[in-house]
Chain A
Amino acid sequence: MADVILLVDRLMKSFGGLRATNDLSLEVLRGECHAIIGPNGAGKTTFISQLQGMLAPDSGTITLNGADITGEPAHRRARLGIARSFQITSLVPDFSVLDHAALAVQARLGHSFRFWKNARRDPALVAPAQEAVETVGLASRAKTLARDLSHGEARQLELAIAIAQQPKLLLLDEPMAGMGRKDGVAMTELLARLKKDYSIILIEHDMQAVFSLADRISVLVAGHIIKTGAPEVIRTDPDVRAAYLGH
């Protein structure tokens, strides 16, 4: 059996009468880029939120590297190696690009009950933060405040924060959402590079990107995964075409 980093077993989550996650089971292999596709409202973001810990499932289990993390709060999951980039950009408006990455670095380095040294002049934070910012191609904007970033740049920063966490598993919720063609291509190239170093769950509507990046694809419809397989299998699968790609 291949090396499994994430195991999701019969996950359930309802909002009132709506089953947003319905008996969802999934295996993500170490080093794999696993795309999840599905129509709007299929429950992709809801699923990611349960993996990250922001939402608690009604039932089912989530296992990371063999350990059951279903009951772990979100901040502890981050320390265990789960990083998430948000579909709707979630930044601190008056923090610079570098500040965001540095915050992720300091979180990874242990507790932050350090009161004296200036964090912005601390090489232990700034150097790795700078590296993450460079990786996503934002080096020239390092000192820019989040509120002054363009939409595309904010999406890049989301990714830089996740990378600065040095995660074991990257959860990317539509990293190209709302990006223009050109930025989208640049982001696809960036993800192609990152893919070598991380296990990734990728949610994306851009099918060209998905089929070029993903090692395997799962199709989520109405909270349930109806099919998992290699890109060429998914592309030609009649059920998938009917449920999703067809329209």
Chain B
Amino acid sequence: MAEPATNLSRLRENIPTLLILAALAATPMIALGLGDPFIVKVATRVVVFAIAAVALNFVVGYGGLVSLCHAGFFGIGGYVVGILAWHDFNAEPLWFLPGTSDLAIALPAAILVSAIIATIVGAISLRTSGPYFLMITLAFNQMFYYGAIALQKYGGDDGLQIMSTITLGPLDVSNRYRFFYLALAVLAITLLLVGRFVDSRFGMVLRAASKNETRVIAVGVDPWLYRLAAFVISAVLTAVAGALLAAGQQFISPVDMGWDRSGDLVVMAVLGGVGVVWGPAIGAAAFVVLELVLSSWTTHWQFVFGLLIVLIVVSLRGGLADLGRTIFSRGSEEATHG
């Protein structure tokens, strides 16, 4: 109960998060050292999917709600950025609004649009639970997917190329390295936010309700509105990740929001570990890198990939985070028992 001890344990709780961020922050240096800018491209992809997987895990791991429409929100974020940039480039107003290539405007726009859509989708989906929730969110994902294909003006199923230069306020972020650090900052913020949320009063309600709804109701809380709020927060953060993907690769397409991509996000979360906030970030990194390495080795990579994931999830029941936790809790157990 002594103050120094709690400060120490607080620090220890944050070590994995800080290590992940530090390791990622070092990748551009490695890329420069090796003279291989492709590494930064991969690292940016890792960071973007880490944001989405951490955000998704807020509802999956802590809310017990396995959503299969998060790729939809990811794509919505991407298309908001893409469409605003299209109108900026073509100097054609969107209804009465001018287009923009400034993320300082496009990101808040993506947040607003995704929040509105997520509120509607959540309010409908959360009337169900378990496999029905899975099915209805999957159906919504397909709606978004075909909705994107129907956007003929913005490329339809070919996707939407961003022709203008993306900025953040006065800052030009079309530079690959600069953009990477922007994305990394968003990941840091996401980890901080979700980390605070899950341990707050809100988080306690969300977690308790995922394991035993009857108990939560019996003490006087209707979990419904809390789940909806968590769903919207999670969707918005995922949309921000999608917005960053579109801005970073100057391209967004319906492929980025297919239902299989929703499944990928769930796999990243489970692979990394749904029990800790930073787990899915590790999962995203492992997923993106494995996909890349395996697909260059063999054409049957998806089979090997699936097999590897099954092996990891079965042998480490808490996902890859279990590896990290074993390493970090070694020290703390010695401290308490010693």
Give the interface of A toward B (CB within 8 A). Answer: 52, 54, 73-76, 78-79, 83-84, 86, 90-95, 99-100, 102-104, 106-108, 112-122, 125, 161, 165
Apart from A106-B201, A119-B204, 14 more pairs, CB < 8 Å: A54-B214, A92-B208, A95-B207, A95-B211, A103-B208, A104-B219, A106-B204, A108-B219, A116-B196, A117-B200, A118-B196, A161-B215, A161-B219, A165-B220
Which segment, of B95-103, B180-188, B221-229, B291-299, faces chain A? B221-229
Alpha-carbon separation in the docked complex, A38 to B307 (Å):
57
- From the candidates B197, B200, B214, B220, name the one contacting A108 in the complex (CB within 8 A): B220
The answer, yes or no, to whether B212 is at the interface (CB within 8 Å) is yes
Residue of B196, B208, B226 contacting most chain A CB atoms (<10 Å): B208
| A92 and B212 within 8 A (CB) | yes
Residue pair A93, B211 in contact (C-beta under 8 Å):
yes
Give complex CA distance A108, B218 in Å.
11
Report 15 cross-chain contacts, Cβ distance below 8 Å, ordered by A residue.
A73-B217, A83-B219, A91-B212, A92-B215, A100-B215, A103-B204, A103-B216, A107-B221, A112-B201, A113-B202, A115-B196, A119-B199, A119-B201, A122-B201, A165-B219
Instruction: Output the nearest chain A residue to B204 by Cβ-Cβ distance.
Output: A119
Q: Enumerate B35-57 residues with CB–CB distance to A below 8 Å.
A: none
Which of chain A's residues have a CB closer than 8 A to the CB of B221?
A: 75, 107, 112
Most B CB contacts (10 A, CB to CB) among A93, A103, A121 go to A103
Asked whether, in the complex, the Cβ of A90 is within 8 Å of the Cβ of B212, the reply is yes
> Is the C-beta of B203 less than 8 angstroms from some C-beta in chain A?
yes
Per the bound structure, the CA–CA distance linking A166 and B197 in Å amounts to 27
User: In the assembled complex, which residues on chain B have CB atoms less than 8 Å from the CB atom of A104?
Assistant: 219-220
Contact A114 B200 (CB under 8 A): yes
Is B205 an interface position by the 8 A CB rule? yes
Chain A contacts of B208 at CB under 8 A? 92, 95, 99, 103
Instruction: Determine if B219 and A114 form an interchain contact, defined as CB atoms under 8 angstroms apart.
Output: no
Q: Which residues of A contact B219 (CB under 8 A)?
A: 78, 83, 103-104, 107-108, 161, 165
Considering only CB atoms, which chain B residue lies closest to A171 in the complex? B218
Question: Shortest distance in angstroms between A88's beta carbon and chain B's nearest beta carbon?
Answer: 10
Say how far A133's CB is from chain B's closest CB, in angstroms: 15
On whether the beta carbons of A112 and B202 are closer than 8 Å, the reply is: yes
Q: Are A114 and B217 in contact (CB under 8 A)?
A: no
**B220 contact from A79, A99, A100, Cβ within 8 A:** A79
- What is the total number of residues of chain B having a CB less than 8 Å from a CB of chain A? 25
Q: Which of A79, A86, A113 contacts B229 (CB 8 A)?
A: A113
Cα of A86 to Cα of B201 in the assembled complex, Å? 24
Q: In whole angstroms, how far apart are the Cα atoms of A104 and B202 in the complex? A: 13
CA distance A119 to B198 in the complex (A): 9
Would you call A78 and B217 a contact (CB within 8 A)? yes
Is the beta-carbon distance between A90 and B218 smaller than 8 angstroms? yes
Please, which residues of chain A bring their CB within 8 A of the CB of B218?
A: 52, 54, 74, 78, 83-84, 86, 90
Query: What's the Cα separation between A118 and B195 when bound, in Å?
Result: 10
> Given contacts A79-B220, A93-B211, is CB(A103)–CB(B205) below 8 Å?
yes
* Whole-angstrom CA separation of A83 from B218 in the bound complex: 7
Q: Which residue of A lies closest to B210 (CB)?
A: A92
Question: Are A94 and B211 neighbours in the complex by a CB distance under 8 Å?
Answer: yes
A4 to chain B, nearest CB (A): 23
B200 in contact with A118 (CB, 8 Å):
yes
B196 to chain A: which residues have CB within 8 Å?
115-116, 118
Give A125's nearest chain B residue, CB to CB. B201
A residues in contact with B197, CB < 8 Å? 115
Could you say which residues of chain B place their CB within 8 Å of the CB of A86?
Answer: 214, 218
Provide the bound-state CA to CA distance between A86 and B214, in Å.
10
B220→A116 contact, CB < 8 A = no
State A52–B220 Cα separation when bound (angstroms). 11
Shortest C-beta distance, B244 to chain A (Å), equals 23
Asked if B214 and A119 make an inter-chain contact with CB atoms under 8 angstroms apart, the answer reads no
A112-B220 in contact (CB<8A): no
Docked-complex contact B229 and A99, CB < 8 angstroms? no
Task: Give the docked Cα–Cα distance between A119 and B217 (Å).
Answer: 19
Q: In chain B, what residue has the closest Cβ to A74?
A: B217
Q: A78 and B220: CB pair below 8 A?
A: yes
User: Which chain B residues lie closer than 8 Å to A79 at the CB level?
Assistant: 220
CB A205 to nearest CB in B, in angstroms, measures 22
Once A91-B212, A103-B205, A112-B226 are accepted as A-B contacts, the answer to whether A75 and B217 lie under 8 Å apart by CB is: yes
Measured in the bound complex, the distance between the Cα atoms of B196 and A99 in whole Å is: 17
B201 surroundings in chain A (CB, below 8 A): 106, 112-114, 117, 119, 122, 125
User: What's the Cα separation between A90 and B208 when bound, in Å?
Assistant: 11
